[in-house]
Structure formats: C-alpha cells, structure tokens
Amino acid sequence: MKTAFLFSVHFSLLVFVHCYGGNGYDPLETALNIQRSKRSQSAYHVSNQDSRADQNSYSPVYVGSQDGLKDFDKISALPGEPAGTDFDQYSGYVTVEPNHGRALFYYFTESPSNSSTNPLVLWLNGVANVLFLESPAGVGFSYSNTSSDYITGDIQTAKDSYTFLVNWLERFPEYKTRDFYITGESYAGHYVPELAQLILQNNKITNQTVINLKGIALGNAYVDDETENTGMFDYFWTHAIISDEIHEGIVSNCNFSEAAPSTAVCHNYVQQAYAAKSNIYFYDIYAPLCSSSSNSTPSISGFDPCTEYYILAYLNTPAVQQSLHARPVQWESCNDFILEHWQDMPFTVLPVGGYVVGYENLTFVTIRGAGHFVPSYQPARGLAFFSSFLEGKLP
C-alpha cells in the first residue's frame, strides 16, 4: 500500500513544483494580482453567488462511449519505475467536450492490496486508489482543439472536472459505488470545494451517475483573498522577512476586504514587502534554491530543490509520454496564457450565509517540517495524515 501511495503522490505533486520554483516567479500570486486589478475596476465584480448562478440549473453532461478504453489506458511499465512495482497504473484522456475537442489527461494508480474495496481519491494541481487530473484543458497534457477554450475560469473548470468524473466512472464502472474523496493543495482551495459543491448539487437531480462523495481534504489552500493577503504579510513579519515598519505600514494602510478600494500608500508598502522578500522561496522559506551547489546545502526537510527540473525532463522524454499514452507535446506544468486570461475567480469560497468557528466535521492539521507541497517535503508524515483522513480519525 505504502509504495503505491508514495509513488503516485510524488508523481502528481512534484510536477507542479516547476510552477512554484525558487526562481522568483509565483503563478498563483500573479493570477491573484491580475484578478485584484480587475476587481478594482468598477465594471468588474464577481461575487461568490453571482459566479455560480447558472449552477442552480442542471442539464445532463456529455457521456461518450468508453468501451475498450480502460484496457487501452493500462500502463505496462514506466521508464525508470522502481523494481517490484506491484500496482496497476492507467493514464490517458477523457473527452469532456467533443465538439471543441477538449480532453483532460489523467493518471490513475490502484492500490496493490484491496483495490476492489478501497475508496477512490481524486487529486486535483496508499491506502486508496488515487486518480490524478490535469485541469483545466491547456495545463500539462490536457488539451483542446479550440483555442478559445483556453480562456476559462473556476466555473468551467468545475464543470469539466465533473464531466470528466462521470465519463471516467463509465470507463471504470467498478468504482461507481465506491466511497469518493477529493483532495488538492494551493489553488485547489477553489477547485476542490467548487467541484464538491457541483457534485452534491447534481447528485440531487441527475439521472446520470451519482458520485458517492464522502469528504474533501485541502492542503495549504487558497480559499479567501482577504485571509491570504493578511496572513501572508503577517507571516513575512513574524519570520523576519519584512521589517516592523513595513508591516505596520501594511496594517495601517491596507484593507484587503472585497469591497475596499486599493490606495497608493498601501500599494507602496506592499511593493516594499515584496522587495524585502527578494528571491526567498516563501512556499518553504528555509529551503535552498536550486543551483550547482544544491547537493551540498540540503534543505532541513531533505527535499531536493532541483526536483522540478527532473520532473520536467522526465515527462518530456518520448518513451515516457508514449508509456503514459500522452500526446507528444512539450509538457509544462504552467500555462501563462490561461493564467493571464483567467475569467472568474471568486473572492472567497467560504460559506456566505455565515458560519461558526467550531466545525463539527472539519479538522485543521499542521504537518511539522513541511513546505507548500507536503508529500514532497514530508512523505512519511503526509502518508500518516492521509491514511488517517480516509479512516475518519485524527493522525
């Protein structure tokens, strides 16, 4: 069990490290700044309710024939995989919009023990059968033959992910009644609850597959813009990345709530904070940057900061792409065009009707010594946490 989980999680998580590499480029913060700039314009306002108005209605999703595709998707072996790999692997494409030629790429591992009874987990960006999805179309190996599909956003991403799941479950019908969980990190703080909301809504009214959603797990997630801004600058300050003066300037002059206007004074202090941060990789501030001397200065977690480049090289090896049944393309973990043209990004995905501090079914877990990508930094602790999550108990 442990072998399957660690291999599959590393595959999925590390491919995204290139996006968040220690090169000063942060795609999430770039996307957030673009959306914040739009919100500052009076003509642009998308609330959590407005952006989901059309989800209150339902029409059946596209379901294509899946005959023979499961067998076609089975991976015989991956180049360089460890000797003794004893679990089944599948990967390939699931069409979500045939008229546009839009298809999402997945990679799926079945646990080597009790795969016929273990739950199914979707990992979005072990002790279970783990399904990894590259979404939206245009990211990784996922694609569309219609270029306008790359101008997308949260709503379409949730719809495509739902259509993917309905079709994937036709391809793997033995999982239709299995307990199902959705997990993810970072911007999956939007993807996961949005998809979960759509599943629960459609389960009530669909005459198609009912997805047996049991729970969700979010890692270091972006769920609320005000909290993200406030927490980030407090974190900089409490870790001596910015000075008392810069922090005080931000606290005194910046209002990060949704309706608050941005001021020149606030912008100036924010820019000072980013300048003080310099090239520190703030998804793991204690990690060294990738360089020719990286091997001689390991991070305290033991994580190799050059992993992003190994993954990039591996997934662009023709033999690997052929084994994965992927189209022969230049694989990249980020798509700057999609990022810059992202359409809808709600300010928050927190409950809008009010909520209490004590959540009966919510557990907040901190994993010691981990950076933004928990299984990359602390695989054993990540496995212990994940196993406990699926068993419904505390680690």
Cα(382)–Cα(368) distance, integer angstroms:
10
Q: Establish if 73 belongs to a structural domain.
A: yes
| Helices marked H in 99-184 | 154-171
Indicate if 114 and 66 belong to the same structural domain.
yes
Q: Establish if 292 belongs to a structural domain.
A: no
Task: Calculate mean pLDDT across residues 361-383.
Answer: 81
Torsion of CA 142, 145, 150, 154, to 10 degrees: -60
Task: Calculate mean pLDDT across residues 236-261.
Answer: 95
Residues 6 or more apart in contact with residue 354 via CB below 8 angstroms: none
End-to-end CA distance of the chain: 17
Band (31; pLDDT cuts 50, 70, 90): confident
Band (35; pLDDT cuts 50, 70, 90): confident
Is residue 355 over pLDDT 50?
Answer: no
Indicate if 271 and 196 belong to the same structural domain.
no
Domain of residue 32 covers 2-222+306-391
Band (182; pLDDT cuts 50, 70, 90): very high
CA angle, 249 as apex, 223 and 230 as ends, to 5°?
10
Q: Is 196 helix (H, G, I), strand (E, B) or coil?
A: helix
Indicate if 217 and 230 belong to the same structural domain.
no
Cα(178)–Cα(315) distance, integer angstroms:
31
Q: Which tokens hold the place of 180?
A: 């199902």
Domains of the chain: total: 2
Q: How far is CA 309 from the centre of its chain?
A: 19
Indicate if 201 and 254 belong to the same structural domain.
no
pLDDT of residue 295: 56
Indicate if 156 and 278 belong to the same structural domain.
no
pLDDT of residue 13: 31
Residue bearing the bigger pLDDT, 31 or 173? 173
Band (352; pLDDT cuts 50, 70, 90): low
Residue whose C-alpha is closest to residue 172's, from 86, 102, 104, 71: 71
Residue 123 forms beta bridges with which residues?
Answer: 132, 183
- Domain of 321, CATH number, reads 3.40.50
